[in-house]
Amino acid sequence: MERVKLQLFLFIASFLVVSRSSFCVLGFNVPSIFIFGDSIFDAGNNHYNTNCTAQADFSPYGSNFFHRPTGRFTNGRTVADFISEFIGIPLQKPYLEAKLDLVNGNRKEYPSNGINFASAGGGVLPQTNRQMGVTPIQHQLQQFKTLVQQNHITKKQIEQSLFFFESGSNDIFSYFHPLDAPTLNPDAYVQSMLTQATNFVDQICKLGARRIALFSLGPVGCIPARILLHGAPVSKCYGKMNKMVKNYNMGLENFGKTIPTKYPGSFAVYGDVYKTVQIFRANPKRYGFSDVTDACCGDGTLGGLLQCGKEGYKLCANPNEYMFWDYFHPSEHTYKLVSKALWSGTHYRIRPVNLKTLANMSTNIQQ
């Protein structure tokens, strides 16, 4: 344990030394958060994309907090929302909503608290769910770059902001889909995912990002929608799928460790969502869950045969006692617990430091 603590201290110390920035604890010096990923983070981008069929812009999505559908694929707030609240800044608007506001003259500039580029159904591989009209991370990156090039986002804002990245669940789920026969073996497929994910983070760092949070995938093999896949077990998680998830997560974490050396002045943390969720599943009552298997909203076995809100769906009486809101996505209660673990959790949940510590690192860029 002492060796681990020493290594952690030396790692952070070396980051402070090689950085072109000087860091000190002055409170949450985070003016904005830029968010990239899939339905775990999507705050409504797909709603503004008329060509997209992956939607959650109908009841009962959003019913337990916003009291209306917002495009979020849950009954309330997501991790990005909770972290914004912890920091004390407004929730980020979806990029396409903010862009439409400018086009319609409802506002003169993009929000100063950051922008959410995430698109439900998107992946790290450009071809994942392309037929659904979703926005993969490559296109999300280009949207961000365009705003930078047009001076809607300044260099100073980039350097002071937090960057959230989470994507890959849809790629792995698609690998097992009967309509999309894979041409690569599992290891090669995961490696192709990591190539795209690390290239994305590389580009963000080259644009000047200083503080990056890389969130692992959760146990995708445990979602109720696994019953839609041929050969997936009903009584337990899908082991083959979770193995790919863990291999991807390990690669993402290892890449994050290289960022301070590869990009002096930049720093990355790795949020271990997978282990955090598995802890909830192992001791559900302790965390307020009565059901960590079935979807609260849906129909059929595990509630996984029908999307929440579609004709014939059923809704549980106590959504926040369920780990899963719908056949793919966690409930707001699950997101809140995950957010707390990432915000102030120990090295077991997020490393090398938690998001609260990351938010306390204030940058004073020396030109």
Amino acid at 48: Y
Tokens 């974490």 identify what position? 253
Nearest to 38 by CA among 162, 223, 164: 164
Nearest to 241 by CA among 251, 231, 250: 231
Kindly name the residue from 81, 171, 272, 326 that is annotated as catalytic: 326
Stretch (H or E) spanning 190: helix 186-206
Residue 162 in tokens: 């937090």
Residues 6+ apart with CB under 8 A from 357: none
Q: Alpha-carbon distance 88 to 104, whole Å?
A: 29
| Residues 6 or more apart in contact with residue 310 via CB below 8 angstroms | none
Rounded distance, CA 315 to CA 362, Å? 44
Catalytic residue among 266, 272, 329, 339: 329
39 in catalytic set:
yes
Q: Is 326 a catalytic residue?
A: yes
Q: What amino acid is encoded at 66 in this protein?
A: F
329 is catalytic: yes
Annotated active-site residue in 21, 39, 84, 174: 39
**What are the respective helix, strand and coil percentages of the chain, to the nearest 5?**
45, 15, 45
Among 23, 120, 2, 20, residue whose Cα is nearest residue 69: 120
SS3 362: strand
Tokens for 284? Answer: 């559900």
**Catalytic residue positions?**
39, 326, 329
